[in-house]
Chain A
Amino acid sequence: MAELKAKGEEPEVLFWVGCAGAFDGRYKKVTRDFTKILDHVGIKYAVLGTEESCTGDPAKRAGNEFLFQMQAMSNIEILNGYNVKKIVTACPHCFNTLKNEYPDLGGDYEVIHHSEFLQQLINDGKLVVKGGGEFKGKKITFHDSCYLGRSNNIYEAPREVLETLDADLVEMKRCRSKGLCCGAGGAQMFKEPEPGNKDVNIERTEEALGLNPEVIATACPFCMTMMGDGVKHFEKEDSVKVMDIAELVAKSNNL
């Protein structure tokens, strides 16, 4: 972003990478694949790079409103400084916070989740996903992220993206507004679960594996981690892949 600014240019959209997108070993690949798609369709985008900082979502949901607002206000200062208008992110938690909670503190942006962004590109004909490719006829089930679905009513966008793959889409019994959480939201990602008789991600992975899918598709870095761990727990990592919708789109287009 700083480089574009120095050249006096403005991007069409700011890609908010998010902490998982920047640091999580597995999700870094999703970040790369998403940028490959952006390059492929010729969208001029920018990232904040080292100027980006945690949105504050896990702090807020852990009850630390102070830390959240400190993070939010310094991020808003940077975003407003670059005159950012439109943000796309692959993380539903960043998405929810930027879209719904930053306006209270002076950060008003058009915020789009990458599932909606990809759907838009496909609808506009800018991104042609070659059906009949890599995933033709393969059984894929989509796991709803709480912060996309119930929190923001985005149920169809990721499914419409997946439909273009020409795959065999199957739904879990608990899907859409009844979707079961992966267990990571509300700062659970960063702590051990409270005592119980099962981990939430095991319960959810069990449900997904019951469908015998080849791919469990996700649209959230935390869901990806939790489902990935669940698949490993059942020692199915060789036959069942957990993949982000952006990876699926990139792969079927050989990007």
Chain B
Amino acid sequence: MQQLIFIIVTVLSFGFFGYTVFRILSYFKLTKEHAYPTLDNIGERITHTLLVAFGQSKILKKPVAGLLHALVYWGFLVITVGTLEMIIDGLFGTQRILSRLGGIYDVVTISGEVFAALIIISCVIFLIRRYIVKPKRFTAPEMKPSSRMDATVILSMILLLMFSLLGMNIGYLNNGGEIHGSFPISNMFASSIAGMNLHTFEIVNWWIHISLVFIFLNVLPYSKHFHVILAVPNVFLERLGPKGRLNSMESVTKEVKLMMNPDTAFAPPPEGEQAEIPRFGVKDIEDVSWKTLMDSYTCTECGRCTDVCPANITGKLLSPRKLYIDARQRMKDKGDALIKDSSYSDGKFLVGDYITEEELWACTTCGACMEECPVDINHVPFIIDMRRSLVMEESKAPASINMMMTNIENNGAPWQFSASDRMNWADELFTNDE
């Protein structure tokens, strides 16, 4: 009976998770096709992922919070082995199937127990930090009550997961049967109540734990904690190479080449090729690259980007974190309707109604946000993509920026100096005035 219920629950929760993933993947079909991942440099990608995702190298830049997070993450990896065992046991009616591994099972159970305790300590500190210490980045304007509640729910859920895990083990130690594995933490509690038969307690905690796992799995994609699933792939698919590089827009290259070639510059456009003029840059959510959309789902709103942003530090409107909260929200608001009708419009745009021009023009492209982001989000290319639509589609640039561009067009320098004066710096070399 229990086995049958478990099979139904498992099928339902993986079914719903599959449905969610399918829906999110369908949003990716709305993004710009030309920029799908090229899996070059696999070796470098694997090393990078081991370091940044599994090794937690970037999050450890803040040593205290970083270490606590790393403990929770590494603990999750270890405890997942136990979760797999529970699912196998549940589906096939076995008891602690991995105990057949012998000595290795001791390693699995001991590390699971130790990490469960470490995760409890970390999560309690995280809650204290969130509600009593209150670091600045948790209380920024873009952190709405809903997203703060989101964090509290997830932290509480993790605590319950760990308590039920330990509860299950305490019950196992006192269920009257043969014991496989080693349980240092649970043993401390179990030995003090030796003699009581806790078989029912074990079963209840087993069900609480596995149900929470299934709920957790299905809550993640709808919360800001989707990074639990997406961080590894997002880091793996990172844009490699120098961070200062921006892509060259191929659509523009085509046009510029036509313009610069005297044979085609003044010729009328060939028949039939006039129809589809792509929108330059990002004005709304369907214009973003797949990476930007994935970045928006991966962002945990930790605010490390905003913390180091020179514009934000000096009181400007820009907060790099907000851009991804906005992008995700925009897809939530428009995605489903766009899938049904690709020309759907609600009269709103990502740039203008969600993200303001003032935010975009405050960026110095310094890349501090990208340097800090523990999950390798690419803020600067996204900001430039949005500036591209402002400038190339709508000619909306600050007057001084227009002046700079006019200067480049007219005299090949961002300032109003004549190109013929380019060598004047050398004059003084020969007059010896230094």
Does chain B have a CB within 8 A of A122?
Answer: no
A65 and B364 contacting across the interface, CB-CB below 8 Å: no
Main secondary structure of the interface of A (DSSP, over half): helix
Given contacts A22-B424, A177-B371, contact A192 B400 (CB under 8 A): yes
Q: Name the contact of B364 in the complex, choosing from A66, A184, A190 (C-beta under 8 A).
A: A184
Closest Cβ of chain B to A234, distance in Å, is 16
CB-CB under 8 A from A63, the residues of chain B are 281, 384, 386-392, 397
A195 and B256 contacting across the interface, CB-CB below 8 Å: no
CB-CB under 8 A from B390, the residues of chain A are 63
CB-CB under 8 A from B413, the residues of chain A are 19, 22-23, 53-54
Residues 187-217 of A contacting B (Cβ, < 8 Å): 187-200, 202-204
Measured CB to CB, the nearest residue on chain A to B370 is A150
A188 and B248 contacting across the interface, CB-CB below 8 Å: no
**Total cross-chain contacts (CB, 8 A):** 225
A196 and B316 contacting across the interface, CB-CB below 8 Å: yes
B388 and A65 contacting across the interface, CB-CB below 8 Å: yes
Q: Name the contact of A151 in the complex, choosing from B242, B384, B387 (C-beta under 8 A).
A: B242
CB-CB under 8 A from B316, the residues of chain A are 193-196
A67 and B405 contacting across the interface, CB-CB below 8 Å: yes
B408 and A61 contacting across the interface, CB-CB below 8 Å: no
Q: Name the contact of B417 in the complex, choosing from A23, A60, A73, A96 (C-beta under 8 A).
A: A23
Q: Name the contact of A73 in the complex, choosing from B256, B358, B391 (C-beta under 8 A).
A: B256
A147 and B244 contacting across the interface, CB-CB below 8 Å: yes
B366 and A150 contacting across the interface, CB-CB below 8 Å: yes
Give the one of A21, A65, A198 with max B CB within 10 A: A65
B412 and A54 contacting across the interface, CB-CB below 8 Å: yes
B243 and A150 contacting across the interface, CB-CB below 8 Å: yes
A181 and B422 contacting across the interface, CB-CB below 8 Å: no
CB-CB under 8 A from A74, the residues of chain B are 260
CB-CB under 8 A from B424, the residues of chain A are 22, 28
Does chain B have a CB within 8 A of A186?
Answer: yes
Q: Name the contact of A183 in the complex, choosing from B310, B422, B428 (C-beta under 8 A).
A: B310
Complex alpha-carbon distance, A23 and B420, angstroms: 11
Complex alpha-carbon distance, A202 and B313, angstroms: 12
Does chain B have a CB within 8 A of A249?
Answer: no
Does chain B have a CB within 8 A of A115?
Answer: no
B408 and A71 contacting across the interface, CB-CB below 8 Å: yes
Choose the segment among A6-14, A97-105, A130-138, A236-244 that binds chain B (4+ C-beta atoms closer than 8 Å).
Answer: A97-105
Residues 96-142 of B contacting A (Cβ, < 8 Å): none
Measured CB to CB, the nearest residue on chain A to B257 is A73
Complex alpha-carbon distance, A66 and B258, angstroms: 12
CB-CB under 8 A from B400, the residues of chain A are 190-192
- Interface 0/1 of B415-434, CB less than 8 Å to A: 10101111111101100001
A101 and B384 contacting across the interface, CB-CB below 8 Å: no
Given contacts A101-B245, A195-B316, contact A52 B310 (CB under 8 A): no
Closest Cβ of chain B to A75, distance in Å, is 9
Closest Cβ of chain A to B376, distance in Å, is 14
Does chain A have a CB within 8 A of B154?
Answer: no
Residues 269-306 of B contacting A (Cβ, < 8 Å): 280-281
Complex alpha-carbon distance, A185 and B364, angstroms: 5
Measured CB to CB, the nearest residue on chain B to A144 is B366
A181 and B368 contacting across the interface, CB-CB below 8 Å: yes
Does chain A have a CB within 8 A of B39?
Answer: no
Closest Cβ of chain B to A157, distance in Å, is 15
Does chain B have a CB within 8 A of A146?
Answer: yes
Complex alpha-carbon distance, A183 and B317, angstroms: 15
A178 and B308 contacting across the interface, CB-CB below 8 Å: yes
Q: Name the contact of A31 in the complex, choosing from B367, B421, B425 (C-beta under 8 A).
A: B425
Given contacts A63-B384, A64-B392, contact A191 B417 (CB under 8 A): no
The 10 A-B residue pairs with the shortest CB-CB distance, nearest first, are A151-B244, A63-B387, A186-B365, A197-B315, A53-B412, A181-B366, A196-B315, A63-B391, A100-B245, A190-B404
Q: Which residues of B contact A (CB under 8 A)?
A: 241-249, 252-253, 255-257, 259-260, 280-281, 308, 310-311, 313-318, 358, 361-368, 370-371, 380, 384, 386-392, 397-398, 400-401, 403-405, 408-409, 412-415, 417, 419-426, 428-429, 434
Besides the known contacts A47-B423, A146-B365, 13 further A-B residue pairs in the complex with CB atoms under 8 A apart: A22-B424, A29-B434, A35-B429, A59-B404, A62-B401, A63-B281, A63-B386, A63-B392, A66-B392, A74-B260, A193-B314, A196-B317, A200-B314
Q: Which residues of A contact B (CB under 8 A)?
A: 17, 19, 21-23, 28-29, 31-32, 35-36, 47, 49-50, 52-54, 56, 58-67, 69-71, 73-74, 96, 99-101, 104-105, 146-147, 150-153, 177-181, 183-200, 202-204
14 contacts between A and B (CB under 8 A): A22-B417, A28-B424, A32-B426, A49-B423, A58-B408, A59-B408, A63-B387, A67-B405, A70-B256, A101-B246, A105-B248, A150-B367, A180-B368, A192-B400
